[in-house]
Structure 1
């Protein structure tokens, strides 16, 4: 499966519109192969405060445009972004967790602030294993905030905006002129050539998205032309809807009033002209529909560039006063609509109704897993490096290759449980444990994590256990591989020292994750399972929230735990070894490339109880860096030489 994370924000119509349309296009192209998550972290992390910020933004652009121009200019020039980031520490932590747990192939942002957070998360040079794409929703007057932080690619709406980025020093190969992502309906209707009514009866679309004080006067202009029809889109403001409906009483045959609607593509394609401000989404949708615009308002900053683009290509008219709007419409439709036809033809030259599909196709191409790391090889080969045992060999003993920390699609993994069984089984593993995340819902971060869909939910836990139970039989019959059912219990706090992840290995039934850690460990032991401290020390090779609670309280918890992860993914936690604590090594597997990581080698009988006892006693245990080899087996079990003590 390909996993794509889309980050957006509700400050202006364009960001959410672009994000939503790209998600729709990706899911249209590959409904069964791509998982797309679209998240507004401002809203998720700050709730009511985010609403206040959004309302402040709308108030500034509508009632105090000069103040907004100053704010826009400050963001364009400021070099103190680090100071700004401090105020959004909570969102940085949430994004940090999201990137680690979701393991996306592509992170696509339609709002520039996220790029600064990602840059901050990876400032220590840790590996960033995803492609970063920024979709710029403005034209020409592009705030430097969009490109001052790193992005692998920038998607721009037109060549004029591409030129701005080139002049700012962005390499040409990183700039993709795909267009603004509009709804797929624009392409569908364009291909079907939806016909317009005869121009003798012009149809006007009026979208009231700001400048509401002018609305009644603009409507009066529409009412005064008896041969015009009009559709007025009010939005979600019920009070305004009632006021406008009262205003047009008696004219309902040719004036329709709509509240919120998802039929904007159809409306733009079925009307001759749209009256609306120069917002990013509205402008680009009008271009995609080849619908000429009358613009009564231009917000300083980003919308100035949108209007400048329309002016350059002669596809819109600016008419600030309501009376000017009536005059502009008269001008367009006089002389058999000569001027309207000119604007219409100009629009056809720059319209890109297939923009979302182009962006989606590019995103999917970037998210393709590397063939070498995702291929399931048909041979049971394995590569075992630096294996050293000091054991007394029993007749039934053998070297077992094990991985006890694996995530499936039930939480934030890439492969289903069945795919995991085949992936590990075809590589000759002897014992594995699927350990999907289960969070403490009493903790605030736990509540947030459940909303993401990247952890096991209470309603899915029963199905999870049943699925693993079914796969156990197939794993043994087909590969002679033992499959354990496990859980990674997440106790996440706001700091590393208050956070703990605990593996429960070989569980027979669910355990309440809201219990205390000591009670969870006790419940694991009642089921004859193993309780293992997951990545208990500081990460070095990968980024992510460190979980240090168990390590910081080792005197209290060491007597209760069966083992500690001495290695996780690419990290070795040497303090675990120095303390001579019982250990295992795991991949913390989320996607196929993670197979190339630390694993556990046990020397015991291939039996569930023997494996667990081997770990508990911590005798005959070794770790290895596992590698696939494209030409086949590097080491076979018979080639492993054991140093007999």
Structure 2
């Protein structure tokens, strides 16, 4: 099995998008023959500081683009990065630990700084046991930071970008023009535009990621037009959504407003034109979809090349303000749509919808010299293979959140995150609010909970991930929900976990009826959260905990430990208990967990919790159950303990 590490960073979504799409393509092409882990080492090592810098970067490119342009030029024209490497001591130590622990066959970087750190960790002349690949996510105007460091291969999106690297001294044999790694779903899309089925007004997609002040009035202007049908995406910006809804309430305004969505490939391939900023991932996805672009904003530096790619290849045009957008639409759709047709033909010439699959095949084709390696941690698969149908120790987390509510990771990322740590059972339980309550209706507008329109998609993706979790990690994935029954006070608020649901449940039902519906599906109903949080990260939900005698006969278990909080009275009452992380972001992994001793089967697991026999809790610190330090080679025990710490920024200090 090939081991592949992909390093990314949150300074621009294009880096994360490229990383996810390469991982997904590798798994499509190689299946269980490859193990891929995506790591944002900036986030792991620097936590809050990284988040502050990330937000500052986003603010700079949107509010003071000229200032950012000057910073970009300094990084491009000086040795700023190289001279500041000594400041990244924690970062370099974490990189060394990861390379030693995972012993990868290939290391892929979708963010340029990682190459410099690897250069520091493995000095020139020291043999490397992996192939180093840099995926350049920018086009044409490529900062030299991308190619000043060592890398065996550079993957670029187009000929113009390759020319920049050649001019910078990179030889042709190290440059590979595969296209930007868009999701492999683009290669499967059926395009009905400009066919006999394509009738009615032209469809325009407006991705509002800049110019938010002008957006509502522009949407109003466009929605009045008879020659277009408008779709608007606002992400999780509920204030923007309300502002736009207020502008288009008048009858006759034809506009569809979408929030956060996973359907971008389908949206791009079903619209004739897209209005967006010149972000790398968005522009490349539009090209893959063969959709012309009106560029509403260009951030100086890295986005200039993306804009040039569209304009110089006559695939759209710049339209930096509402008036120019309206004028560009007039030009595109008049005279029988001749200009739109020309743009479409030109963008089709650049389109590489299967780029991520090509990149995956290239990575898998690379030969890596395998040295004699000392295996520090036994493979989890072999350690468990003899226990398939007999009781075994199972590490479980039954309370986690994805991006469908207020989590940081997607469902596939959650599966990988827990699977790579040897967990046996994972339940994803995104928040869903009671729409019959005022607080629930308000919260549904926040973008931080699962809304009714996304419930089918949520269950669909969980169903798809169940097989991958089992095949790749031998981990049981369960679908769940956390029902938020919030009142005006903490004493009237209750959160209810449903574990191993087979389908949706109406969140507007009463608590008693919700529990009955959960049980009708054979799922577990569990009271969330200890009685009083010792920290202030969330709202106390005390209703169940102050009515224990009333709900004890109805509930299957009580979450006595959550994050770092623990509530002992449940244990004293001898009621069934579990412990979970209430996972929202990676550092929450280091928290209370449930440990079971039963068969590795969903029904056996649920019954074990119901009867609460052979159930324990543990304060998880990145250990692997059944593969403790005593199972390692005696002469390397200390070294192994250091190597097993995946993310030093969040874990205990190494020995």
TM range (shorter): 0.5 to 0.7
CA–CA distance in structure 1, aligned partners of residues 184 and 248 of structure 2: 33
What is aligned with 1:283?
283
What is aligned with 2:634?
532
1:365 is the counterpart of 2:365 = yes
What is aligned with 1:325?
325
1:353 is the counterpart of 2:455 = no
| Distance change (3 Å), C-alpha of 1:291 and 1:126 | same
CA–CA distance in structure 1, aligned partners of residues 196 and 382 of structure 2: 49
Q: Is the 8 A contact 2:2 2:105 kept in 1?
A: yes
Q: Any residues of structure 2 matched to 1:6-21 within 5 Å, and which?
A: 6-21=6-21
What is aligned with 1:260?
260
CA–CA distance in structure 1, aligned partners of residues 308 and 632 of structure 2: 66
What is aligned with 1:605?
none
**SS, match of residue 227 in structure 2:** coil
| Distance change (3 Å), C-alpha of 1:239 and 1:168 | same
What is aligned with 2:377?
407
Unpaired stretches in structure 2, ≥5 consecutive residues: 387-415, 427-473, 475-617, 622-628, 640-645, 648-654
1:58 is the counterpart of 2:28 = no
What is aligned with 1:212?
212
Q: Any residues of structure 2 matched to 1:288-327 within 5 Å, and which?
A: 288-327=288-327
CA–CA distance in structure 2, aligned partners of residues 189 and 16 of structure 1: 22
CA–CA distance in structure 2, aligned partners of residues 236 and 530 of structure 1: 47
What is aligned with 1:201?
201
| Distance change (3 Å), C-alpha of 1:81 and 1:405 | closer
Q: Is the 8 A contact 1:3 1:367 kept in 2?
A: no
Q: Is the 8 A contact 2:9 2:41 kept in 1?
A: yes
Q: Is the 8 A contact 2:193 2:272 kept in 1?
A: no
Q: CA RMSD in A?
A: 3.4
Q: Any residues of structure 2 matched to 1:442-521 within 5 Å, and which?
A: none
Cα drift, residue 188 of structure 1: 0.4
Q: Is the 8 A contact 2:21 2:181 kept in 1?
A: yes
CA–CA distance in structure 2, aligned partners of residues 294 and 38 of structure 1: 32
CA–CA distance in structure 1, aligned partners of residues 374 and 48 of structure 2: 41
| Distance change (3 Å), C-alpha of 1:30 and 1:325 | same
Cα drift, residue 193 of structure 1: 7.9
CA–CA distance in structure 1, aligned partners of residues 287 and 81 of structure 2: 34
| Distance change (3 Å), C-alpha of 1:35 and 1:367 | farther
Q: Is the 8 A contact 1:115 1:151 kept in 2?
A: yes
CA–CA distance in structure 1, aligned partners of residues 129 and 111 of structure 2: 21
Q: Is the 8 A contact 1:102 1:454 kept in 2?
A: no
Cα drift, residue 183 of structure 1: 1.1
**TM-score, normalising length: structure 1:** 0.60
Q: Any residues of structure 2 matched to 1:369-448 within 5 Å, and which?
A: 407-410=377-380, 416=382
| Distance change (3 Å), C-alpha of 1:203 and 1:212 | same
| Distance change (3 Å), C-alpha of 1:316 and 1:514 | closer
CA–CA distance in structure 2, aligned partners of residues 303 and 151 of structure 1: 24
CA–CA distance in structure 2, aligned partners of residues 221 and 197 of structure 1: 28
Decide which structure has the larger Cα Rg and report it: 1
What is aligned with 1:3?
3
Cα drift, residue 221 of structure 1: 2.9
| Distance change (3 Å), C-alpha of 1:530 and 1:5 | closer
CA–CA distance in structure 2, aligned partners of residues 126 and 103 of structure 1: 15
CA–CA distance in structure 2, aligned partners of residues 247 and 197 of structure 1: 31
**SS, match of residue 334 in structure 2:** helix
What is aligned with 2:165?
165
**SS, match of residue 213 in structure 1:** coil
**TM-score, normalising length: structure 2:** 0.59
Cα drift, residue 119 of structure 1: 0.5
CA–CA distance in structure 2, aligned partners of residues 196 and 93 of structure 1: 60
CA–CA distance in structure 2, aligned partners of residues 219 and 119 of structure 1: 49
**SS, match of residue 141 in structure 2:** coil
CA–CA distance in structure 2, aligned partners of residues 451 and 89 of structure 1: 25
